[in-house]
Amino acid sequence: MSTTRVAVIGSGPSGAYTAQLLTEESESPVEVDVFDRLPTPFGLVRYGVAPDHPRVKSITTSFAEVFEDTPGLRFLGNVHVGADVSIDELRSHYDAVVFAHGAPLDRRLDVPGEELARVHAVREFVSWYQGHPDQSAEAFVLDGRRAVVVGVGNVALDAARMLVREIDDLRRTDIPEHIVDAFAASTFEEVVVIGRRGPGFAKFTNKEFIELLEVESTDIVIDPADLELDAAQQAHVDADPAARRLLTTFRKAADRGILGRPKSIRFLFDRTPIGFVGDDGTLSGIRLAKTSDPSTTEVLETQLALRSVGYLGKPLDGLPFDERTGTVPHLDSRVVDGEVVVPGVYVAGWIKRGPNGVVGTNRKCALETVTSVLEDVAAREHTSTASTAAEVDELLSSRGVDVVDWHGWRAIEEAEGATGASVGRERVKLHDRDEMLRVAAAHRSLVGAPGHG
Amino acid sequence: MVYVVTEACVDVQDKSCMQECPADCIFEGGRMSYINPDLCIDCGACVTACPVDAVFYDAELPADQEPYLELNERFFAEVETPKSGRKAGKIFFDVDEIAALAPRGKA
């Protein structure tokens, strides 16, 4: 019987679920190679899910079990699809290629001053404190007094919470020690979270907001007048149970009032950012207009601005792309170019449906993708034309790609455990890519040939 | 802190939540589904998946639904369940309070 070989691009939740479900659901033998441009698996579970949400992060345990226990499932980390190997090459080496590489770009506000120093996409800040190798240890210096976060989603709230979190709480997480030190040295006293519309349209979940109220060092400041909803907000809240729950918590927060705590998070609604002002190229303020009355403007002094207005997919050479939605066009997860299905190419996760939902949302999304892949496999009239695993290894090695396989990742993980143990934590992430590669290579030289599986 | 299935699920059991739960911690009982608090990882996928708004974070439970925190927990104390809700399939059991409820109209 012929074994179907599938490449999955990206090892975050959607890629991991795609790999798992392919092997679980298929009635004929399937082998899956999961590629990641990073030496480490799990994408945004490792680098997106907030460090003070360890229970959500613990989903990696079940992903890891799948990688450990499934014959024919491999992790090929540190491989940059599009640079190390082209999409056309992947298509010729595999029966099917599933793109699950997420939404690695950011929407901009497109207002004057956005290029000033200390105006950042929230992703840069999140990546930095999560110890993502794309952000240097020195990328942020927290020496201002007031930070602003533009946007009212869960990521905005994560960033705001991290800026006020007690240092002892951060020392229980897996973030690198030099990042904890940077937060310990922070002089920020206030974070202003800016929403274009009113609280009725806030996008973060009630759970995130409840957690914010539990941060003991911090006052939550809300103008009670903002909680008198206009007709549009009222209609939205009436129709959306999530918005209703959130509003209950807003009211609780307003009732609690200001308790004189050392730090505060202030919600500023009905404000549209219309520009940033700076001194010598560095941010000093954000210019805001009232959304409901654009002639009323103000400048709010600030030393750090994070825009959290949405992630965007990234166009890849050889893959169709819809600039407007920032996603890859598809029919039932099959990639389409115009009206034509591109044979053997599929999408899953954020690159397919846009940046929304939580970890589990990707399971359902991946199941749709896997169903289409397996339907096509069952319908095809020829046997597998894929290269073998060894042939793929040869190709990558001939290009000098330093592949980090599952064993390499486990070596990195062990090093992170050891670093953690030295400071009384379960794990402390390695931040530097070269260091990760050194650890993985040292392991390889210890055990000999690269392991599969 | 965990998520809790409440009364709105009784005799509805849409099960969309089970497809999206990354921890596979939602189990289909006789008349409602139950979240295993020991397995729940707090992600909240079930809240948005639920078409009848039956799932709450424990800290946001409406007052009249607060008993469901304990009912969800007790289900797993009273009946033997495997690690996976999806593999377990339907379990013909409910905690007493749920079994005693009058039948609900289908939503």
Question: In terms of domains, do A167 and A191 share one?
Answer: yes
| Structural domain boundaries, residue A180 | 108-309
**How far apart are the C-alpha atoms of A352 and A378, rounded to whole Å?**
23
Question: In terms of domains, do A160 and A260 share one?
Answer: yes
Q: Do B44 and A242 touch (CB under 8 A)?
A: no
Question: What ipTM was assigned to the predicted interfaces of this complex?
Answer: 0.89
**Is A150 a domain residue?**
yes
Pairing of strands A4-9, A30-35: parallel
Q: Find the residue in A nearest to B16 (Cα).
A: A364
Question: In terms of domains, do A189 and A214 share one?
Answer: yes
CATH number of the CATH domain containing A197 = 3.50.50.60
Residues A276/A277/A279/A285 CA torsion (nearest 10 deg): -80
Question: In terms of domains, do A204 and A172 share one?
Answer: yes
User: Which residues in chain B touch residue A62, judged by CB atoms under 8 angstroms apart?
Assistant: 22-24
Residues A306/A352/A452/A82 CA torsion (nearest 10 deg): -70
**Is A412 a domain residue?**
no
Helix H or strand E encompassing A45: helix A43-47
| A428 residue type, one letter | V
User: Which residues in chain B touch residue A361, judged by CB atoms under 8 angstroms apart?
Assistant: 20, 45, 48-49
Q: What angle do CA A399, A404, A410 make, to 5 degrees?
A: 170
CATH number of the CATH domain containing A331 = 3.40.50.720
With a CB cutoff of 8 Å and minimum separation 6, the contacts of A420 are: A174, A426, A427, A428
Neighbours of A40 (CB within 10 A): 25
Angle between helices A241-256 and A231-239 (to 10 degrees): 120
Neighbours of A327 (CB within 10 A): 20
pTM for this prediction: 0.94
Q: Find the residue in B nearest to A213 (Cα).
A: B59
Sign for the pseudo-dihedral over CA of B20, B21, B24, B26: negative
User: Which residues in chain B touch residue A207, judged by CB atoms under 8 angstroms apart?
Assistant: 42, 44, 57, 59-60
pLDDT tens by residue, chain A, 453 residues: 589 999 999 999 999 999 999 999 999 999 999 999 999 999 999 999 999 999 999 999 999 999 999 999 999 999 999 999 999 999 999 999 999 999 999 999 999 999 999 999 999 999 999 999 999 999 999 999 999 999 999 999 999 999 999 999 999 999 999 999 999 999 999 999 999 999 999 999 999 999 999 999 999 999 999 999 999 999 999 999 999 999 999 999 999 999 999 999 999 999 999 999 999 999 999 999 999 999 999 999 999 999 999 999 999 999 999 999 999 999 999 999 999 999 999 999 999 999 998 899 999 999 999 999 999 999 988 888 899 999 999 999 999 999 999 999 999 999 999 999 999 999 999 999 999 999 999 988 777 554 444
Q: How far is B104 from chain A (nearest CA, A)?
A: 21
Determine contact: A13 vs chain B, CB below 8 A: yes
Compare CB distances from B53 to A62, A205, A241 and report the shortest one's residue: A241
Evaluate whether A412 touches A381 at the Cβ level (below 8 Å). Answer: no
| Structural domain count of chain A | 2
| A321 residue type, one letter | F
Question: In terms of domains, do A233 and A139 share one?
Answer: yes
Q: How far is A397 from chain B (nearest CA, A)?
A: 35
Specify the length of chain B in residues: 107
Q: Find the residue in A nearest to B22 (Cα).
A: A360
